Amino acid sequence: MSLQPVLSATRVTLAGAVLMLALPQIGLCQVTSFKDISDDDIDALDEIVVYGQPTLRQLRKGIYKAEENFYELFNSLNSGRQFDIGCFYRRFVGSHIRRRVCEAYFVKGADAGWLVQGGVPVWAYVRHKDKQMRREMASLVTEHTELQVALIEFAHAKQTFNVAVQERCAATFGICRN
């Protein structure tokens, strides 16, 4: 006895079941051409409001935008190019994954090795310049309200993202792809 007819009968039955389930849904959809719609129908349409939550990716992009706005303002107000901060993507040693990094110009120069002079170690130079930059940033934030607003927007975007991650990932015991 051959199994081929039994298998094909099963396939036909399965295909029929799929079609039976799909056919009622096809009838629910109506397509109306634009020519058939009158001006009265267009005026009678109500406004449709859709409420939803932004995705974690959209919230993260909001953080990046707020951070770049803050750094752009800071760069325009600070004392020189050495304290200008730029954001970019970098692959770290031993990884193929690009990570977003925001660094000051003096850090990039120290990494290249051309800013350090007089036998000062690179880490000491970067630490000293970082303290200077943080002092200047603090004084500029206290002096300029637009920089304060940009910093508040950046902090708010980070807080919104962190709250969303906690809410959405609470059921997964901290294992969440964000």
Q: Where are the beta strands (DSSP E) in the chain?
A: 85-91, 98-104
Give me 66's structure tokens: 């707020």
pLDDT, residue 42, reads 62
Cα–Cα distances in angstroms (integers) from residue 165 to residues 56, 62, 115, 153, 177, in the given order: 7, 14, 40, 18, 9
| DSSP one-letter string for 8-64 | HHHHHHHHHHHHHHHHHHHHH-----GGG--HHHHHHPPP-----PPPHHHHHHHHH
Whole-model pTM above 0.75? Answer: no
Beta bridge partners of 86: 103
Block means of pLDDT (10 residues each) for the chain, 178 residues, are: 52 52 47 61 66 88 96 93 92 92 86 61 86 95 95 96 87 67
Amino acid at 95: S
Please report, for the chain, the start and end positions of each structural domain, with discontinuous segments joined by +: 56-172
Give me 158's structure tokens: 């980070």
pLDDT, residue 79, reads 87
